[in-house]
Amino acid sequence: MTAASASASTYTITGYVSTGGVVNAGGTTLTADQGVQIVSALLSNGTTEQTLTSTQTASVTYGNGLSLQIPANSEIKVVASATGLVVQSSQPVSVRNGGVTVGSQSGTLTVLASQDTVIVNLSADSQQTLQTSLSPSTAKNLDITLNPPSGAIKASIPSGAFSEDVTLTVKQPDSLPGAKAFGAYAYTAPSLLNGMGIGIEINPNKAVQPLKPVSIRLTYRSSDAADRDPRTFTVARLDDGRGQWLI
């Protein structure tokens, strides 16, 4: 183990190579695969930030029940607490807990684990795309929050929502199709639907529908509303097959 002086934003920096034993991670502990390099920095706010690197794919398991998958030849910064992880990476990274796996492409990912729910928050400066793997035996609910410029978008998926293993891609849409006549409420004038450009895209890797309701909460800015009457706002779902919006 080595120690060195640091900038004003940190008090102490220590570095070591994991041999598979338990290591202090600040608010909790961690156990890393052998060969994972760990550099810990005690920050001026009292938290411990750890930089993890590995030449091969490796796993790190925390005392709070969360585990982290490190890609080969990557560098990941983690601040761990008794209930969660804040993970910063420029490469794809995944976190697991209670049968739920969530992964981001890059940026800052916050994952909190309670007794019955995994809570995931993707920072506003991150690519607004997440992947999550679920199974019928998944014991926990999953709350995902994206943070695009328009404001937080939250999707809540209950435990046991799917009858088979499924991987979901949850993202801010690249674009939203224009409004058409839709569903049993088929309006003939497309202008009756005037999109605000705010939405969430949830794509499974196979043709499967949830067995339980999935709730979605959207927020918007006053500038998004412009001169529209909020009492006329509605949430619609796109039927890809028919190219129609359903409410």
The structure's pTM equals: 0.84
| Side-chain-side CA neighbours of residue 130 (13 Å) | 31
Q: Which of 116, 108, 186 is nearest to 145 (CA)?
A: 108
Contact 168, 220 (CB under 8 A): no
Backbone conformation region of residue 73, classed left if phi is above 0, alpha if psi is from -120 to 50, else beta: left
Q: Which of 159, 156, 236 is nearest to 199 (CA)?
A: 236
**Which pLDDT belongs to residue 106?**
86
Distance, CA of 245 to CA of 247 (rounded, Å): 7
Contact 23, 31 (CB under 8 A): yes
Burial of 91 (0-12, 13-18, 19+ CB in 10 A): middle
Compute the mean pLDDT over every residue in the chain, rounded to the nearest whole number. Answer: 85
Compute the C-alpha angle 182/187/189, nearest 5°.
Answer: 115
Please say if the pLDDT value at position 137 is more than 80.
yes
pLDDT digits over 162-220, tens only? Answer: 999 999 999 988 887 776 544 544 444 444 667 788 899 999 999 999 999 999 999 98
Please say if the pLDDT value at position 46 is more than 60.
yes
Query: Confidence band (pLDDT; 50, 70, 90) for 5?
Result: very low
Q: Range with the lowest mean pLDDT among 29-33, 88-92, 112-116, 188-192?
A: 188-192
